[in-house]
Amino acid sequence: MTPPDLPFPRLSDLLQIATTRLAAAGVPTPAVDAELLAAHVLACDRGALAAAVVRGDTVQAAEETHLAELVDRRAAREPLQHLTGRAPFRHLDLAVGRGVFVPRPETEVVAQLAIDVLRATASAAPVAVDLGTGSGAIALALATEVPHARVYAAENAVAAFTWAKQNFAEVGADNARLAFVDLAEAFGDLDGTVSVVVSNPPYVPDEAIPRDPEVRLWDPPSALYGGSDGLDVIRVLSSVALRLLHPGGAVVLEHGESQGAAIRALLTADGWRAAATHPDLTMRDRVTTALRP
């Protein structure tokens, strides 16, 4: 155990200070965020951090200063993932930062539904398309979890494309292709051959400003807002997916919890079959699927 007269603060004390500071700022998970920031500063995982706390380890002055700076930024509601530069998604660890939508746990259900379609497709090399890939989270999950599939991802925002390009390079899935292209014109060479089109599009109505500062102030508006009813991009995606998919192929669309009925009606009016809405892990309506006739 570290002697009590050392001139450096104990890690356990700094974690308590950080947790108190973040709780006072209204951060939803202050203790977890404090631990993750400390682990980032100390270049270790949370298991090693917990062991260091049990040992009574102290923290060097430079590390203490760095942690305090990050805690101040998190207290100002800068996203945790921007501070660490990383975001988990299923089994992936993705690079994220300013200009790209931070992948959320609820989107993992969207990826799972698309993965299920690929695995059920009677093809040696089924094709998937992710429209508006952002960080590349969905596309890379599909490519790595269904390695016999071919996955194509499109992004039309420069900043997001830059992050996606980095993640594609880091993951190194040779069955995944990334393209900078307008979503309405994406992958015309694949028309009629795709088994699943998946997207987490912007779907927040223009006047429905998100409450959370992390979303309102930091996520790019182009990844959030989808017109007066939030469905403008989904209307485009319905048309694009009908072009890309083969008969019986599926479209998988993330949306807000109150939008399922409107999206089912939209898809049905466009000619889709079997439109259905599915809940996320919190039992909120999160994703609607439909089949191409």
Buried b (16+ CB within 10 A) or exposed e, 195-231: bbbbbbbbbbbeebeeeeebbeebbbebbbbbeeebb
* Domain ranges, ordered by start, for the chain: 11-76, 86-291
Q: Which CATH superfamily is domain 86-291 in?
A: Vaccinia Virus protein VP39 (3.40.50.150)
Give the residue ranges of the chain where pLDDT is below 70: 1-6
pLDDT of residue 8: 82
pLDDT digits (tens, 9 = 90+) for 131-165: 999 999 999 999 999 999 999 999 999 999 999 99
Measured CA to CA, the distance from residue 276 to residue 288 in angstroms comes to 5
Which pTM does this prediction carry?
0.92
The two three-digit tokens of residue 180, written as one number: 């900078």
Q: Are 84 and 226 in contact (CB under 8 A)?
A: no
pLDDT of residue 6: 55
pLDDT of residue 3: 44
pLDDT of residue 292: 98
pLDDT of residue 1: 32
Q: Are 183 and 158 in contact (CB under 8 A)?
A: no
pLDDT of residue 135: 98
